[in-house]
Each structure stands twice: as C-alpha cells, then as structure tokens.
Amino acid sequence: MRVIGLDPGLRLTGYACVGLHEGAERLEEAGVLRLKRGDGSPQGLADRLVELEADLRDLIERLEPQAACVEAVFAHKAFPGTAIAMGHARGVILLTVRRAGLPIVELSPAVVKRSMTGFGRATKDQMRLAVQARYGLAAPPTPADVADAIAIAAGGLLRHTHESRIGPVGKLP
C-alpha cells in the first residue's frame, strides 16, 4: 500500500509518498513542487495552476500510489487570503487525483498534527522534529511543507489501512 500526501500551496506544494512494506511503514520520497512566481494577474494564476496539475500528474504516474491524502481547508482569521490561495491549489489537486482514479482521504491540520506529535496544535518545528524521528532522517525535513506532506501521507496511510480493515470511520475534525 502506498499513499501520496499533499500539502497544497500556490508557490510550494509539499508531497510525500509513504508505504507499507512487509508490515513496516516506510517513507519512499518527499519534496516540493515549486511553481513559478506569478505576476498577480488572473492569467498568471491560471498558468501556475496548469503547472501544478502537470507536475502532480507526472508525480502520480511515477510514484504509483494507491491513495492520496490532502490537507483540508482551514482559515486563520489573521490570514484569510491563505485559505483562498490554498483553495485554488486544493481544487487542482483534488481534480488531478480523482482523474488518476485514486481514492482521497482528507485530514484537518489538527488531526495531522495530533497523529504525528500527539498534540493538535504542534508548531512547524515540532512537526519537523517528529517526522525526522519517526522516519529516522538525518535532519528535519526542509522546508516545512515537506514535513507537513510526510505527516499528511502518514495520516492518510493510517486512515486508509484502518478503513480497509473495518470500514469507513467518517470525517474527523
């Protein structure tokens, strides 16, 4: 079983692929899809979304995951524009993943943090250190989008394997 985890963004989209091999969880690959800076125009935004779709399609073809996990939309009152920007990237990601025929697991940031660190309000640094420890990495993943994508993939793998054994558990907050 292999799950691709995606941390949506219009500048950097983190990705990670984790899998179960002989009963052990293993990080297979992680990184970021770096999108060209836009000029702020609607055309520039559209071009970035097309680039994200093409890069993600190539990534899915190469990694051959059986499922995808995406971070759910969240909005922080101090940064409402972030949710809007993330929504554009999420839309492209959801469309591309479904066109690839993959089932999608969606997890809230708090659930991802709780599953990786035991605390739903973990900081970026705590997440990076937890991912490093869990997968025995030489250094914490950089940038933070990579650590987030690894944690999202790990949560998606757990959810997918759990549901395959006992059935759907419903949407978690």
Active-site entry in 7, 25, 39, 58: 7
Active-site entry in 28, 47, 55, 71: 71
Is 106 assigned a catalytic role?
no
Is 145 assigned a catalytic role?
yes
Find out whether 6 and 91 touch, Cβ atoms under 8 Å: no
Is 71 assigned a catalytic role?
yes
Active-site entry in 25, 39, 53, 145: 145
- Both tokens of residue 24? 């052990």
CA gap 141, 132 in Å, rounded: 7
CA gap 82, 131 in Å, rounded: 24
Contacts for 25 with CB less than 8 Å, ≥ 6 apart: 18, 19, 154, 157
Active site residues: 7, 71, 145
